Amino acid sequence: MSTLRTPAELAEAGLIAPERLAEIERVAGRYAVAISPAMADLIDRADPSDPIARQFVPDAAELATTPEERQDPIGDLAHSPVEGIVHRYPDRVLLKAVHVCPVYCRFCFRREMVGPQGLGTLTPEALEKAFAYIADHPEIWEVILTGGDPLVLSARRLSELMRRLSVIDHVKVVRFHTRVPAVEPHRIDESLIAALKASGKIVYVALHANHPRELTPEARAACARLVDSGIVMLSQSVLLRGINDDPDTLAALMRAFVETRIRPYYLHHPDLAPGTGHFRLSLEEGRALVAGLRGRISGLCQPTYVLDIPGGYGKAVIAPDTVKQQDGCWTVSDFRGGEHAYPPEH
Ligand SMILES: *Cc1c(COP(=O)(O)O)cnc(C)c1O
Ligand code: SF4
């Protein structure tokens, strides 16, 4: 079985009803579609609201856009000094070498940039300029490969890129953001792992997954290979209506990460990407869900809930409201909602 890419292939695989073909063709004409074999297998055809299907199978709801949605929701373009680089924070840059992914998420925040009609792969000349930019900026401590999904590159191409970074002394950490260990776990083999480590820098891999079922035994084994090789893993998830917006699913997802030796890192509030209104929930709902995790599961399982401020202002932590100051005294709330003066009155 190979990756499903057209509405006809989705219909043939039993993932969309034949009578929906025409509307799905319209969605596919606008936004990229791909479902890897591992994810297609994971979809429960009998469940009309299957959380895996909802992430990858196109839906007519994507044709509806709302006024607040934006082509470039997190303002990448405003902070791109050279093609392929986003430099928003002083000490780290994004390096977007590819705009291809092994699956296309229906809620993708870069959906106008990724896929066959997206920004494509950097030309050798553009890559040259991107590396020159990193080399010329000694304040860049970390290079974050994202895209697109950098792990779609062959081991040979990745090790070429990593060798370019190895000679830039001020870069100490290389981070990859990827879905590959879960959606194409067999790709995580010895040669790919060697390529990820070819820079000689400290390597972090942030796995994007949104539902505990994505952490299949094969996915967990792929992550174990990465972690056993000395790579540190982090998680990255998007809070999505109908996929993980309930306390049990979120708790199970965070536990699945920790059981896989992946430290929960970010839980993103959904971005204002076009045609994604059906996935969005309010900040209030998000905060209540995240606050509910605190008392319920281990501290190891707590992600940081963040919002990328539209326009390119960066990420803001949506911290729970646990401390208040009134008339010079502090009040701290516990996980049950009880309130305590700090410092305590004797
Ligand atoms: C999200 C992001 C980063 C990474 O931020 P961290 O908080 O370090 O994970 C870096 N650069 C840009 C432009 C980003 O959008
Ligand atoms: S893997 Fe990331 S960049 Fe690719 S479609 Fe999904 S959210 Fe977008």
Give the pLDDT confidence score for residue 92 in this predicted structure.
98
Domain match, 51 and 194 both: no
**Residue 154: CA atoms inside 13 Å, Cβ hemisphere, count?**
3
Task: Indicate if the pLDDT at residue 76 is higher than 90.
Answer: no
Q: 69: burial class by Cβ within 10 Å (0-12, 13-18, 19+)?
A: middle
Domain match, 253 and 136 both: yes
Distance separating alpha carbons of residues 123 and 128, to the nearest angstrom: 9
Its pTM stands at 0.96
Domain match, 120 and 88 both: yes
Cis peptide before 148 (omega within 30 of 0): yes
Domain match, 95 and 244 both: yes
Q: Which atom of ligand 2 is nearest to the CA of 146?
A: 3
List of E strands, 194-285: 202-208, 232-238, 262-268
Cα of 108 vs centre of ligand 2, distance in Å, is 5
Give the pLDDT confidence score for residue 327 in this predicted structure.
87
Q: pLDDT band for position 203 (50/70/90)? A: very high
Distance separating alpha carbons of residues 180 and 150, to the nearest angstrom: 9
What whole-number percentage of the chain has pLDDT above 90? 90
Give the pLDDT confidence score for residue 85 in this predicted structure.
97
Give the pLDDT confidence score for residue 321 in this predicted structure.
83
Confirm whether 207 is domain-assigned: yes
Residue 129 a catalytic site member: no
Domain match, 172 and 244 both: yes
Domain match, 158 and 114 both: yes
Give the pLDDT confidence score for residue 119 in this predicted structure.
85
Distance separating alpha carbons of residues 25 and 10, to the nearest angstrom: 11
243 vs 73, higher pLDDT = 243
Average pLDDT over residues 89-97: 96
Give the pLDDT confidence score for residue 179 in this predicted structure.
98
Q: pLDDT band for position 337 (50/70/90)? A: confident
Domain match, 181 and 37 both: no
Confirm whether 328 is domain-assigned: no
Side chain identity at 133, as an amino acid letter?
Y
Task: Indicate if the pLDDT at residue 169 is higher than 90.
Answer: yes
User: Of 63, 87, 110, which closes a domain?
Assistant: 63
Q: What is the pLDDT of residues 123-137, one digit of tens each?
A: 999 999 999 999 999
Domain match, 41 and 170 both: no
Confirm whether 327 is domain-assigned: no
Task: Indicate if the pLDDT at residue 147 is higher than 90.
Answer: no
Confirm whether 152 is domain-assigned: yes
Confirm whether 340 is domain-assigned: no
Cα of 19 vs centre of ligand 2, distance in Å, is 28
Distance separating alpha carbons of residues 195 and 26, to the nearest angstrom: 39
Give the pLDDT confidence score for residue 190 in this predicted structure.
98
Give the pLDDT confidence score for residue 117 in this predicted structure.
83
Give the pLDDT confidence score for residue 308 in this predicted structure.
95
Average pLDDT over residues 23-52: 97
Domain match, 160 and 198 both: yes
Q: How far is CA 40 from CA 11, 25, 52, 215, 284, in A?
A: 12, 19, 8, 14, 33
Q: What is the CATH number of the domain that holds 266?
A: 3.20.20.70
Task: Indicate if the pLDDT at residue 77 is higher than 90.
Answer: no
Report whether residue 297 contacts ligand 1, using a CB cutoff of 6 Å: no
Q: pLDDT band for position 227 (50/70/90)? A: very high
Please check whether residue 145 is in contact with residue 201, taking contact to mean a CB–CB distance below 8 angstroms.
Answer: no
Identify the residue whose C-alpha is closest to ligand 1 atom 13.
Answer: 88
Confirm whether 335 is domain-assigned: no
The overall average pLDDT reported for the chain is 95
Residue tagged active-site, from 30, 92, 129, 287: 92
- Provide the domain count of the chain: 2
Domain match, 92 and 208 both: yes
Q: What residue numbers bound the domain in which 146 lies?
A: 66-319
59 vs 76, higher pLDDT = 59
Domain match, 129 and 172 both: yes
Confirm whether 336 is domain-assigned: no
Q: What count of other Cβ atoms lies within 10 Å of the Cβ of residue 61? A: 14
Task: Indicate if the pLDDT at residue 17 is higher than 90.
Answer: yes
Report whether residue 144 contacts ligand 1, using a CB cutoff of 6 Å: yes
SS3 call for 136: helix
Give the pLDDT confidence score for residue 47 in this predicted structure.
96
Cα of 126 vs centre of ligand 1, distance in Å, is 21
Range 101-130 burial, b when 16+ CB lie within 10 A, else e? bbbbbbbbbbbbbbbeebbebbeeebbeeb
Which among 159, 164, 160, 145 has a CA at the least distance from the CA of 99? 145
327 vs 264, higher pLDDT = 264
Give the pLDDT confidence score for residue 286 in this predicted structure.
97
User: Of 17, 48, 63, which closes a domain?
Assistant: 63
Confirm whether 339 is domain-assigned: no
Give the pLDDT confidence score for residue 346 in this predicted structure.
72
Residue tagged active-site, from 31, 76, 88, 201: 88
Q: What is the pLDDT of residues 149-158, one digit of tens each?
A: 999 999 999 9
Domain match, 91 and 215 both: yes
Strand partners, 232: 204
